[in-house]
Amino acid sequence: MVSVNTDKDADEGIIVFHKHDFSDTLIMKNNIMLISDTTAVLSITKSSITLVAQTNVSFFTSPNYPQAYANAAAYTWTIYANRSIQDPIIKLRVVDSIMENSFTCYNDNVQIYDGPNTNYYMIKDFCGDSYPQTVITSSHDTVVITFNADGENNNYSGFKIEYWATTKDYERYGPITMTTLNYLLFGAAGFIALIILAMLGYVSVRRLQQHVTIRCNCDFGYDIHW
C-alpha cells in the first residue's frame, strides 16, 4: 500500500511505503531525495537538512539527482546518531558522485566534517568523479556534510550518500614494555615522570626512588589495569 501526501504548490512531498512490518518515508524537499524510517527527519529548510541516523541504512542525494544540480547551490546536511544507540558513531558510504572537477575541488565540492559544525576536523572532501571508495567513519555522534557548487556549467548528476549509525568499536591493544631512560644504569635514585597519551585520556607514571604511582585521567567508565 502506498500513501501519498503531496501538494503541487508545496516544497515538500511525503510518500509513505507500507510493506509487511516496516514503513519507509521518501521525502522530496527542494528536489533533494531522502529515504529513511518515518522518524529520521528532524527538520528541513531550503538549504539545511537535519537527519537522525538509525542502525539501518538510509541515504540522501544532491538536488535533482540523478539529473543535473543547479548553479550556485549551497546545502548542508547535519546527521545525528539515534540517542538509543550506545556510544554511537556515524558511518557514510558514497555510492555515486559526478560533479564538476577542478584543481583542489575549488568549484563544486562535498566536504564531510567530524562533528556538529564546520569548525570540526574535515574528514574528507571530494569532487569530479573521484570519490571515497571505502566507508567513512566519524569519531563523534554527529557529522556535517556540505555541498557547494559554483555559478556556471553545472551539467552534472551530483551524488548519492548512504549513512547509518553504529556503536563505537574500541580497539584493544596488547601489552608493551616501557622503561625509563638509561634503564639498566639508572638505579633506584632520582625522579622520573612519564605520560602515556590515549584516545580516551592519558595515563601518568611517576617514580620517586623505589615508589611508583600510576594514575589514569580517563573517560567515565574506563580505568587502567596492571
Q: How far is CA 32 from CA 26, 77, 147, 179, 181, in A?
A: 10, 11, 12, 58, 60
Q: Quick one: average pLDDT of 198-208?
A: 57
Q: What is the pLDDT of residues 114-155, one digit of tens each?
A: 999 999 999 999 999 999 999 999 998 999 999 999 888 788
- What would the grid cell of residue 109 be? 565540492
So what's the pLDDT on residue 104?
A: 86
Q: What is the pLDDT of residues 150-200, one digit of tens each?
A: 888 788 999 999 999 999 986 665 565 656 555 544 444 555 555 565 555
The string of pLDDT tens digits covering residues 26-52 is 445 555 555 544 345 555 556 889 999
Q: Where are the alpha helices (DSSP H) in 89-202?
A: 183-186
pLDDT at 147: 96
pTM over 0.75: no
Residue 20: is its pLDDT beyond 50?
Answer: no
Closest CA relative to residue 137, chosen from 101, 162, 118: 162
**What are the structural domains of the chain?**
39-167 (2.60.120.290), 173-226 (no CATH)
